[in-house]
Every structure is written in C-alpha cells, then in structure tokens.
C-alpha cells in the first residue's frame, strides 16, 4: 500500500468479489479483513440482509478507526447494484465482536455506475461522518490570520475536510461576501489523531478591522458537494466574529 492510500483512505480490493453474478447474504459477518470486505463490480447484483454485519475491517496503515467495508462500481454499460442496511456497520468491541452502530460506513460508491438501495442509500455520507465536539479560533500572534482548533470524532485525514471562511464588510451589508474554501490538509499544523486538528489560515482579511467573519468545517460528500459537518448540540458548529 502506498502513502496515497494512507492520506486519501482509498482502496480498490475486496476479500469477496462479485462480478457478472448475483449474491445474497444473510447472517454473515464481514470482519477483520485488512484488504477490504466486499467489492461489487460490473454486472454484480448484491443483496445484504440486515443480519449482515461489517466490523473490524481495518487497513494496516497505522490509522485507528478507519475501515474498508464495501466498494461498488461497474462500467457505463454494466452497472453494479447493492441493497444494504445502514444498521449493518458496527464498531468493534474490546472482545473483537460487533459493537455499537458506527457513524462511519466506509463505503466507496461510484455515483455513475453503482445503484445503491436500502436504508444505506439514505445516509448523507457513505465513507465517514466527522462529528465536531469543539470548534474555536483566535488571531495568530503575528496578526496575519487565525488559528483554528477542531476537536471531535472521525476527523480523518482523507482529503474530504475543508474550512470555509466567509468574509463580509461589517457595515456595508449589501456588499458581496468573499467566500474561500481551504482544504484542511493544507492548513493543518498538528494532526496526529482523528480527534483533534490545529490549523492556521494566513489571510489578512480574517483579522482586518471592520470585517464580519464566519468559519465553518465542511465535508465533501459522494456527489462532490461540500456540506456542513455534524456537531454536538452544545455547540453551533460555526464560528462568527467581528474584527
């Protein structure tokens, strides 16, 4: 496995491969499969009953929490199909058994060539779903921008997290806002786990007097759209301040 796999959380293998065929699974556990659990290829049709469980399919790349559960993708003329339940994806318990429901599904779905049905298709994010538990910012010591501290769960370095800065004049409310999206990997000064990230944004407009600034954490979904990351009820998930 190369370093790109570690940084982007992408894999292309499965311990069980379905191509040009139909498969039906029930009362089945896909567990502890380091090369990935299930791969559905062109003209593969798979039904997973809700008694199927995925857990512990962790890659050997040094990251805790990541898994490799399902890849689904065919060709333009021969699609792949899967019916699956969101409840099939579990954390692994201390005794190596399926535990509580996982927020993260670790499913790679090609939006053009994979047809997904069942309750899994209703999930907003199929790969992983970060949760913000703390979100704060302050001007850096040189007054050239801001430092941002993010605490939470599933803050994986997978190339899908962004910080959006929206800058408006404080008094001229009709003036068009300046919106800048920064990839979190490009800003991070400390990112040693999936529970805390410290980042620095160098932009004088963020600390210039007379600005109204909004900072948000976004996650890229399977359709290539950036959406606001989930947050616990105790915080807003958005930082707002006036310079």
Let me know whether 73 and 145 are in one domain.
no
Least confident of 45-54, 115-124, 145-154, 170-179: 170-179
Mean pLDDT of 145-150: 92
Mean pLDDT of 56-85: 90
Angle at 77 (CA atoms; ends 73, 83), nearest 5 degrees: 40
pLDDT at 26: 97
The two structure tokens encoding residue 147: 């430092």
Mean pLDDT of 188-201: 94
pLDDT bracket for residue 237 (50, 70, 90): confident
Quote the domain boundaries for residue 172.
Answer: 131-242
Let me know whether 116 and 135 are in one domain.
no
Let me know whether 7 and 68 are in one domain.
yes
Report the CATH number at residue 164: 2.60.40.10
Let me know whether 106 and 202 are in one domain.
no
> Which of 122, 149, 183 is the C-terminal boundary of a domain?
122
Q: What is the mean pLDDT of the chain?
A: 90
User: How many domains are there within the chain?
Assistant: 2
Least confident of 38-47, 50-59, 89-98: 89-98
Burial class (CB in 10 A: 0-12, 13-18, 19+), 179: exposed
Over 90: is that where the pLDDT of 122 sits? Answer: yes
pLDDT at 242: 81
pLDDT bracket for residue 243 (50, 70, 90): confident
pLDDT at 195: 95
Mean pLDDT of 180-198: 95
- Residue partners of 177: CB distance under 8 A and separation at least 6: 166, 167, 168
Let me know whether 96 and 181 are in one domain.
no
Instruction: Give the C-alpha separation, 243 to 241, whole Å.
Output: 7
Let me know whether 197 and 106 are in one domain.
no
Let me know whether 140 and 45 are in one domain.
no
Instruction: Give the C-alpha separation, 211 to 29, whole Å.
Output: 54
Let me know whether 154 and 234 are in one domain.
yes
> Which of 63, 89, 122 is the C-terminal boundary of a domain?
122
Buried/exposed code over 121-135 (b: 16+ C-beta within 10 A; e: otherwise): eebebbbbbbbbeeb
The two structure tokens encoding residue 134: 């703390």
Instruction: Give the C-alpha separation, 235 to 14, whole Å.
Output: 39
pLDDT at 89: 97
| Percent of the chain whose predicted confidence (pLDDT) is above 90 | 66
Q: How far is residue 179 CA from its own chain's centroid?
A: 22
Let me know whether 35 and 58 are in one domain.
yes
Is residue 107 within 8 A of residue 70, CB to CB? The reply is yes
pLDDT bracket for residue 8 (50, 70, 90): low
Half-sphere exposure at residue 213, Cβ-oriented, CA atoms within 13 angstroms: 24
Let me know whether 7 and 108 are in one domain.
yes
Let me know whether 68 and 20 are in one domain.
yes
Let me know whether 75 and 155 are in one domain.
no
pLDDT bracket for residue 222 (50, 70, 90): confident
> Which of 122, 144, 167 is the C-terminal boundary of a domain?
122
pLDDT at 79: 97
Is residue 218 within 8 A of residue 115, CB to CB? The reply is no
């Amino acid at each position: 496995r190369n370093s790109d796999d570690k940084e982007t959380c992408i894999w292309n293998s499965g311990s069980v491969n379905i191509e040009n065929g139909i498969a039906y699974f029930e009362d089945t556990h896909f567990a502890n499969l380091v090369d990935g659990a299930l791969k559905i290829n062109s003209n593969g049709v798979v039904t997973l009953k809700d008694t199927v469980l995925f857990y512990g399919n962790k890659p050997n790349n040094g990251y805790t929490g990541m898994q490799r559960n399902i890849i689904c993708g065919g060709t333009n003329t021969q699609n792949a199909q899967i019916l699956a339940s969101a409840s099939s994806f579990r954390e692994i318990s201390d005794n190596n058994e399926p535990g509580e429901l996982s927020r993260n599904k670790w499913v790679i779905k090609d939006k053009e060539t994979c047809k997904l049905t069942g309750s899994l298709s209703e999930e907003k994010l199929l790969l992983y779903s970060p949760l913000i538990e703390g979100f704060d910012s302050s001007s850096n010591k040189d007054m050239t921008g801001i430092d941002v501290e993010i605490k939470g769960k599933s803050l994986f370095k997978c190339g899908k997290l962004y910080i959006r800065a929206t800058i408006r004049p404080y008094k001229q409310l009709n003036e068009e806002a300046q919106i800048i999206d920064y990839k979190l990997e490009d800003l991070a000064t400390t990112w040693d786990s999936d529970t805390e990230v410290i980042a620095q944004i160098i932009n004088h407009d963020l600390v210039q007097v007379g600005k109204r600034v909004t900072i948000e954490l976004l996650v890229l979904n399977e359709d290539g759209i950036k959406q606001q990351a989930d947050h616990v009820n105790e915080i807003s998930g958005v930082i707002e301040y006036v310079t």
